[in-house]
Amino acid sequence: MYINQVSHYVPIGRVPNSYFEGVNGLEDQWIFERTGIRSRSKASEQENTNTMAVEAVKNGFEGSGFKPEEIDLIVGASYSPYDTVYTIGHAVQRELGAVNAKVVYVSSACSSLLNALEVAEGYLAVGKAKNVIVVASEHNWAYSNESCAKSGHLWGDGAAAMFISNTPKGEKSARVEHIYTQGLGHLGKADTSVYLRPGEDGLGMPDGRDVFINAVTQMRNAIDNVLDASEKEVSDLSYVVPHQANGRIMANLQRQMKLKDGMIFSHIEEFGNTGCASTAICFSQNIDKVKQDDLVVFTVFGGGYSVGAMLLQY
């Protein structure tokens, strides 16, 4: 399986840390020291999860080597839908005129992107698809409670798309060496530490410490899994793209793996936690740094809990 093109869309709106001092009493430096966030992206009133997904796909379509009528599968990934019936995948299908595409929706918190990629991998493996778009989009601000001092300051909005096939297309295709995902609902406070309850109090993270403890362990374990499966070592890696949940989690990962500065891609300082779209957004923003023969690993951790990793060979 090859990822031929990665693209993204991030709304232009930014909310600085200073905004929250008058909302939930948190000061700029306090937020930055604990999260690595200076500002976060925010969709406009005219934008939603579907519109951002469409823009992310449109931003990458021209260089993807795909034609609308050749797309036979669209897999959408999100935990913050605008519409649970007319999903992000259906919106993309309609916008592109991809009349021959199957449409699937996947939700597994912040690891949803990698679960969606596994779904695509399965369809390709059994010959039920040849040209696949995986699109991840999150509208966290639609659900978050900004007055919550525990997590109201964490969230950002954005979307990303990947154009996938069983053969390479274009000048910068990456071969997927291995994808690993795992549900971890049996660990820690998986049932209560992160939640999104639309009919109640929305999106919250009442126990960030439990999330942190499990994330720093499981994201590294996931990397080891895909490296072992591909007979690679940490020393073979060119770049690491972690889920953009918390700057301290990424710093911990860098220390654990003894990575050189610059090997971890991060955008959390400007955009906040953009959910399951975060790794692909961040990778798309840094794709120009990646060269032929580079080995890149994604690693994610989601509430609920769930974990995943993907190894790409350029």
Tens-digit pLDDT profile for residues 156-165: 999 999 999 9
User: Domain limits of the chain?
Assistant: 2-165, 174-313
Q: Does domain 2-165 have CATH number 3.40.47.10?
A: yes
* Predicted TM-score (pTM) of this structure: 0.96
Tens-digit pLDDT profile for residues 168-188: 997 899 999 999 999 999 999
Q: What whole-number distance in Å separates Cα of residue 4 and Cα of residue 134?
A: 12
Better-scored residue on pLDDT, 220 or 200 = 220
Fold matches, 2-165 and 174-313: yes
From start to end of the chain, where are the E strands? 2-9, 13-16, 39-42, 73-77, 102-106, 131-139, 157-165, 174-183, 195-197, 202-204, 239-242, 295-302, 306-313
Tens-digit pLDDT profile for residues 136-147: 999 999 999 999
Q: What percent of the chain has pLDDT over 90?
A: 96
Chain center to CA of 244: 8
Neighbouring residues of 50: CB distance < 8 A, sequence distance ≥ 6: 82, 83, 86, 87, 88, 91, 137
SS3 39: strand
Closest CA to 141 of 131, 154, 130: 154
CATH of 174-313, one of 3.30.70.20, 3.40.47.10, 3.80.30.20, 3.40.50.300: 3.40.47.10
